[in-house]
Structure 1
Amino acid sequence: MRQKRLGAELRKLRERAGVSFEAAADVLECGKAKISRIETGVNGIRPVELRVLLKAYGIEDQALSDALLSMAREGRTRGWWNRYGDVLSDGFADLAELESKASSLQLWETILVPGLLQTPEYMRVLFRRGRLDAPDTEIESHVAGRVHRQLALDRDDAPEVWVVLYEPVLQAKLGGQAVMRDQLTHLANMAQRERVTVQILPYGTESHRGMNGPFGIVAATTPGMEVVRMETMATALFVEEEAQVSSYKLVFDQLRAAALGPAPSLELIRSAAERL
């Protein structure tokens, strides 16, 4: 995923600079196919080559150059998610990678509490029902992987997390009353963190913009690098095209504008927990 993000950024920089494939290949003294493989994330790029390209593209922003060089150096390093390679699909490994470097996360959920805010027992219910006949060891590996993902929120430079939940998320009885009560109590506690905001979109809201389903917007520390992610039972899917990402950002802005504010949302979460 790091190679894909780096390649996509290099393509944008090349196009903005008006440099052709052929000219970029001449700069690196290579074939056009190599430039294509770098920009599509198939191949990585050595830092020394990256510096040459950035100079050719007229990049003078030192912060941007440093961020891209860091991505090039880290492109082949192994992250903690590699330990769960037997159960994590490439999509979920990519999601863990994105979250580990994120500067902000914007999440819209219609049915479930977002993975980063789930309790282990709530996770176990979801994994058991989503993976029929899976052995307990596999379930526990999935839980451990998701718990490890949540450590992104404990970093010194933890991302800003903004969550909008559809009210039915609070009314579900996943795993029974005790599991759901503990989950809502945990959600309320997380909502009081300095860098976490949770809003509830009331059930009676008419014609809201989130009817096409849940999604998340992950903004990386590299300027202008944002990805939309959608999770399925088996993997995570990503939208990286700039115009489409902008459309999702507009939808999210409209959802949080229509939702209850953080304070009344917190009271609603607590009330739902108390009823259980």
Structure 2
Amino acid sequence: MAGPTTTTERGEPGTRRPVGARPKGAKRTGPSPARPSRLPGPRAVLLIVAALLVLASGVWLFYGSAWLRIEEVTTSGTRVLTPAEVRAAAAVPVGAPLVSVDTDDIEDRLRRALPRIDSVDVVRSWPHGVALHVVERTPVLLLEKGGKFTEVDANGVRFATVDAAKAPKGVPLLELTVAQSPSLRRFGADRLTAAAVGVAGDLPGPVAGDTKVLKVRSYDSITLELTGGRTVVWGSGEEGEAKARALTALMKAAPKAGHFDVSAPTAPAASRS
């Protein structure tokens, strides 16, 4: 015989809830009933189609159409090189889609083909151009061999060999006379050349302009031959800034001297010969 209905089973006064029904406000613990999938409406379909058309038009515009194709290649920054040389080495594919040009590949190709180029920047110039901005290396020393002159930049890079007629003016000649020196075996010609390059970079402006020859006999014996028959004993490539200051002061104090020694910058000396 069933017992009396409890308050819990009845729920709120005046109502009757079937036994086992979920109380009002209780969370559902079982899986949610599956909802039927809805197809996109006409408006959504139109938006998708429009987006695809825009995408296809863009691809065609950049790659398939006669517009936005390379028609002109310009150069800037050349000094010794000619624009025609740069354009020929760059081999920019005229007529190709501008968006497809590989700027990194062109930059690498220019540096390999023209060692005189220190840096290069290839820029797309919309709608039809490619611009080549180059920076050429600046020689600080010249190496002479067999009537040819090799240009050396501030990093010690030997980047071009020219004949006497094309050798840059005002650049000192580097003489390495170290064939019998122990320094050659210890340091090597490249390191001695790098030391000479460092000295050339440390020279005061007026002295650098007057320097005709920079001689390296050993790591500790670097001398300068200046205009007017003057000479400077520089010593090693170390303490370059201190030696430059000492030489500047010495030349002001003894303007008629013909021989200067700053190998010990704390005790510089000058004499007439």
TM-score of the superposed pair, with normalisation by structure 1: 0.24
| Higher RCO (CA < 8 A, seq sep 6+) | 1
- Name the larger-Rg structure: 2
**Which has more helix, going by share of residues?**
1
TM-score of the superposed pair, with normalisation by structure 2: 0.24
**Which has more strand, going by share of residues?**
2
